[in-house]
A and B are shown apart, each in its own frame.
Chain A
């Protein structure tokens, strides 16, 4: 079982490797990856050193180039693929069909993983990406139950990777323009959802208010901090109902489901969080490494107490339990 861990900075990458990551994923500091936040991500030189650091310790590095190239600017995404290969990356994580076709043609020896941003949610989609672009692994979208994942694995020949911890998209990934509708910056094109430069916190008549692009996403009474205004975790009103229409302020914790995911034929477990600190990365990686080590040794995995690190400090098993829908 392979643990695929996030790194937003070289320091976080070293922390992940030191904490026992089998594999670390990261991206370049531009529109080419889906965590394009200020102060994050890697320069070309940083990626070179990071790959050396990881390889020296037996860990792999995957480079996420998982946004959709914008018309007229494909060169930026193509050079990212070429530079990842030059740095010695073990694979690139791609979503766009045009970029996948380019990588398959011009970088045939560079392993290609299908990003969750491609939202390949059934065996037909996965088999299609495998045959059309030689994709070797698919990161499954967070809309599937464990039983559905098992059924998918019975019908495909490529590896599957699933999210087990961290932020949770409630929409099919790569197919959501909510943030773009409110702010004009697109998760698909600019790699940033609910971008911080469109976030506004204010105090109004005893309430803390968080807005995104001028739309009120949270309003909490004094004393409580308004959470970061991630659009799909916001509090809204629909007719007589007021509440979290799309999803509560929770994040995914599927640590208890790892044995079932292993039985479902999953190859790799993915931890979300390239925007989080090296302290977070190290804590989560260490905890999950204890789980995979126990399973590899045929022991019962330890129960993890990670809720404190979660967004909103509450966790869900998301779509893995069918009732979530």
Chain B
């Protein structure tokens, strides 16, 4: 059995410097990532179906900024905490919990029942997004590598020690560990 997603947090030593970074390069990189990811996995939009035009707020609680996903326009933007627009639905939790769900290491409902993830707003839209992402079997590091090839090599080099340091699954386990 895996460790609970909620127990893992991005160490302060990493998250503090992020607070003083300018947001526009982050948003630009995220936008590229979302565009590439949705192009590579068209079934995600099909499953999100009538909720494509919803705005999803992804509040990764140990990051200094909040993400907003706009599936229909393949938009993913970062906002400073306090400056984020309200969306139709909001999912909040640690980076570890989000990654565990995305990578199929943890079950979304289990994370929700245990309080590691919280949801607000349009529950249907959250379910549609959760189910669509679960079906897509994403590997975030592979998606980053293909969306941002320039970042790929340094990213891979940086991720290995980060994964060891934080216990975060930045890649989908090759042999899924259940």
A residues neighboring B (CB under 8 Å): 8-12, 15, 19, 37-40, 195-197, 199, 201, 224-225, 227-228, 275-280, 282-283, 286, 305, 308-313
* B47 touching A39, Cβ below 8 Å: yes
Say how far B139's CB is from chain A's closest CB, in angstroms. 13
Say how far A192's CB is from chain B's closest CB, in angstroms. 10
B104 surroundings in chain A (CB, below 8 A): 11, 15, 277-279, 282
Say how far A193's CB is from chain B's closest CB, in angstroms. 13
- Contact flags B86-104 to A (C-beta < 8 A → 1, else 0): 0000000000000001001
Q: Is B128 an interface position by the 8 A CB rule?
A: yes
Which of B115, B123, B130, B137 has the most A CB atoms < 10 Å from its CB?
Answer: B123
Say how far A289's CB is from chain B's closest CB, in angstroms. 11
* A199 touching B109, Cβ below 8 Å: no
* A282 touching B123, Cβ below 8 Å: no
For the A-B complex, the count of residue pairs with Cβ-Cβ distances under 8 Å equals 100
Tell whether A11 pairs with B135 under 8 Å between CB atoms, given A305-B1, A311-B113: yes
- Contact flags B120-156 to A (C-beta < 8 A → 1, else 0): 1011111111111011110000000000000000000
B residues neighboring A (CB under 8 Å): 1, 47-49, 51, 101, 104-110, 112-115, 118-120, 122-132, 134-137, 176, 178
Say how far B107's CB is from chain A's closest CB, in angstroms. 4
Q: Pull 20 A–B residue pairs with CB atoms less than 8 Å apart, ordered by A.
A: A11-B104, A11-B136, A15-B104, A38-B49, A38-B124, A38-B125, A38-B128, A38-B131, A39-B48, A39-B129, A196-B123, A201-B119, A276-B109, A277-B101, A277-B134, A278-B104, A278-B137, A279-B107, A309-B110, A312-B113
* A9 touching B110, Cβ below 8 Å: no
Nearest chain B residue, comparing its CB with the CB of A195: B124
Tell whether A9 pairs with B178 under 8 Å between CB atoms, given A38-B124, A225-B112, A309-B110: no
* B131 touching A39, Cβ below 8 Å: yes
- The CA of A99 and the CA of B118, in the complex, are separated in Å by 41
* B119 touching A12, Cβ below 8 Å: no
Nearest chain A residue, comparing its CB with the CB of B100: A279
Contact of B134 among A196, A225, A278 (CB under 8 A): A278
* B127 touching A37, Cβ below 8 Å: yes
* B178 touching A201, Cβ below 8 Å: no
A283 surroundings in chain B (CB, below 8 A): 107, 178
* B128 touching A279, Cβ below 8 Å: no
* B109 touching A280, Cβ below 8 Å: yes
* A19 touching B178, Cβ below 8 Å: yes
Tell whether A10 pairs with B135 under 8 Å between CB atoms, given A276-B107, A282-B176: yes
Tell whether A9 pairs with B115 under 8 Å between CB atoms, given A39-B47, A39-B49, A280-B107: no
- The CA of A224 and the CA of B114, in the complex, are separated in Å by 9
B108 surroundings in chain A (CB, below 8 A): 277
- The CA of A309 and the CA of B178, in the complex, are separated in Å by 12
- The CA of A131 and the CA of B129, in the complex, are separated in Å by 44
Say how far A200's CB is from chain B's closest CB, in angstroms. 8
Tell whether A12 pairs with B135 under 8 Å between CB atoms, given A276-B107, A279-B105, A308-B1: yes
Say how far B71's CB is from chain A's closest CB, in angstroms. 12
The 4 closest A-B pairs by CB, nearest first: A39-B131, A280-B107, A38-B128, A39-B128
Apart from A38-B131, A279-B104, 8 more pairs, CB < 8 Å:
A38-B127, A197-B124, A201-B119, A201-B120, A276-B109, A279-B134, A310-B113, A313-B113
Say how far A131's CB is from chain B's closest CB, in angstroms. 40
Say how far B48's CB is from chain A's closest CB, in angstroms. 7
- The CA of A38 and the CA of B131, in the complex, are separated in Å by 8
B135 surroundings in chain A (CB, below 8 A): 9-12, 39, 278
* B127 touching A196, Cβ below 8 Å: yes
